[in-house]
């Protein structure tokens, strides 16, 4: 009888966790260094929008400016804002960023290469 009520009410442990769909990665982490590169069409689209916005902003601001400093004062805030947005998208839709020195080797592979170089 107790098992019957457990089936109806539940075991008291709450609902089992739902399986989450794996998040689609738009930007993969670079193999060497720090940063990302586009891995899907969504990533390439975001990067293309960023580049078009930067180039377009420069030409629009440069038309109305009277000196180099006017251009820079108008352009740098837009560049900073667009770059912040691009990095935010990379963080939210990309692999975890960390400094990388290439493909990580297992302990056995490191010892084997160490022994080969010492011979």
Give me 99's structure tokens. Answer: 């400094």
Of residues 48 and 3, more confidence is placed in: 48
Query: CA quadruple 79, 81, 84, 86: dihedral positive or negative?
Result: negative
pLDDT given at position 108: 60
| Four-CA torsion 71, 77, 81, 86, nearest 10 degrees | 40
The answer on pLDDT for 34 being more than 80 is yes
Give the length of the chain: 119
Work out the average pLDDT over 60-76: 86
pLDDT digits (tens, 9 = 90+) for 91-111: 999 888 788 787 665 556 656
Domain parsing of the chain, residue ranges: 26-102
The Cα 53–Cα 64 span in angstroms is 17
């Amino acid at each position: 009888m107790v098992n019957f009520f457990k089936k109806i009410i539940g075991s008291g442990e709450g609902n089992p966790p739902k399986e989450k769909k794996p998040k689609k990665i738009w930007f993969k982490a670079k193999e060497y260094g720090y940063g990302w590169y586009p891995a899907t069409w969504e990533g390439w689209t975001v990067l293309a929008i960023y580049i078009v916005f930067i180039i377009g902003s420069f030409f629009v601001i440069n038309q109305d400016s009277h000196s180099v400093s006017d251009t820079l004062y108008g352009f740098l805030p837009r560049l900073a804002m667009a770059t912040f947005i691009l990095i935010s998208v990379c963080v939210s839709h990309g692999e975890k960023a960390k400094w990388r020195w290439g493909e990580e080797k297992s302990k056995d592979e490191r010892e084997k290469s160490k022994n080969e170089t010492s011979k």
